[in-house]
Amino acid sequence: MTVPDPTPAARSGTVTGPRKRRPAERAGDDPMPTGQQPVIQVRNLTKSYGKLQVLRGVEFDVPRGSIFALLGSNGAGKTTIVNILATLLRPDSGTAGVDGFDVVRQPADVRAAISLTGQFAAVDEILTGRENLVLVARLRHVGKPGAVADDLLERFALTEAAGRKVATYSGGMRRRLDIAMSLIGNPPVIFLDEPTTGLDPQARVEVWNAVKELSAAGTTVLLTTQYLDEAEQLADRIAILHRGRIIVNGTLPELQRLLPAAKVEYVEKQPSLEDVFLALVGDTATGTDTASGPDGATGTDTASGPDPAAAKHQEERS
């Protein structure tokens, strides 16, 4: 059974009768153009582990072909949401749909439409990069696995390292290979759970470029992250998850408008001791100092050695 499309009133957050707007509605009531079916729909999702309530009524939509970031600190519930959407975990209540399929009632259809990349690269270090890709292609029953592997190696700038064992790869190369493996079979939706955890700055940029290419090719990306700059760089929409709830959901400009613009105060630069010294002693490069006398006349002292006339007079006296 497909997840029912919410009514326009429910989607926009307007209902009959007065009520306060929830924080998640302030940054953008309609997350996508009218008539565009979201590829991911989440409604009133809850999940608890014993007495610990991890998700408390989470709701959001993800437009097709976009990059959607779930931003939150450790323990906010980001990975729990991804595991539910990937059919690895059942919610306690609420509904969730991916590509028109219910994650609880139609898990096989959901799995055929998605790919999941976890927090750490799931690659076989004993195999080469190409062998990893060929293996996954065969497991997915994809035709011409060698050609598929070569295409992905070129797409993710790994062709030169294709014949090397993955154990020799850098962190960024492993993550790029991991993402490439997740694209085998052309899934319309990919989940990236903390994709740059533990990577150095250069490797992070490499992964960011790979994610941007996914979106440009039409793949829908749901990204979880705790890095503010990552969400700012990549996401078309950002949902902030805090203590199991979406507290705000919108584009970056919409989120920025929630706070007043910062005031910038101009402060004149105070002179340094170097500035004071040079101003007082004059031009030290020429070795001349000019000072004003009592009547305003100027005199020049030249630090070029003793006065010849004075030296001759001294010799005559001796």
Q: pLDDT tens digits, residue range 92-104? A: 999 999 999 999 9
Residues 6 or more apart in contact with residue 182 via CB below 8 angstroms = 115, 116, 117, 190
Q: Buried (b) or exposed (e) across 165-183, using 16+ Cβ within 10 A?
A: ebeebebbbbbbbbbbbbb
pLDDT of residue 8: 39
CATH number reported for the structural domain that contains residue 115 in this entry: 3.40.50.300
pLDDT of residue 294: 46
Residue 108 lies inside a defined structural domain of this protein = yes
Predicted TM-score (pTM) of the model is 0.69
Least confident of 111-115, 196-200, 266-270, 286-290: 286-290
Structural domain of 199: 19-125+188-256
Average pLDDT over every residue of 191-206:
85
Q: How many domains does the chain have?
A: 1
Residue 222 lies inside a defined structural domain of this protein = yes
For residue 67, the cross-strand partners are: 221
- Which residue's entry shows tokens 């690269």? 121
Residue 52 lies inside a defined structural domain of this protein = yes
The pLDDT of residue 140 is above 60? yes
The pLDDT of residue 262 is above 60? yes
Residue 170 lies inside a defined structural domain of this protein = no
Residue 143 lies inside a defined structural domain of this protein = no
Element (H, E) at 235: none
Residues 6 or more apart in contact with residue 145 via CB below 8 angstroms = 133, 134, 137, 138
Closest CA to 251 of 272, 232, 270, 225: 232
- The string of pLDDT tens digits covering residues 285-301 is 444 444 444 444 444 44
Residue 43 lies inside a defined structural domain of this protein = yes
Residue 291 lies inside a defined structural domain of this protein = no
Residue 71 lies inside a defined structural domain of this protein = yes
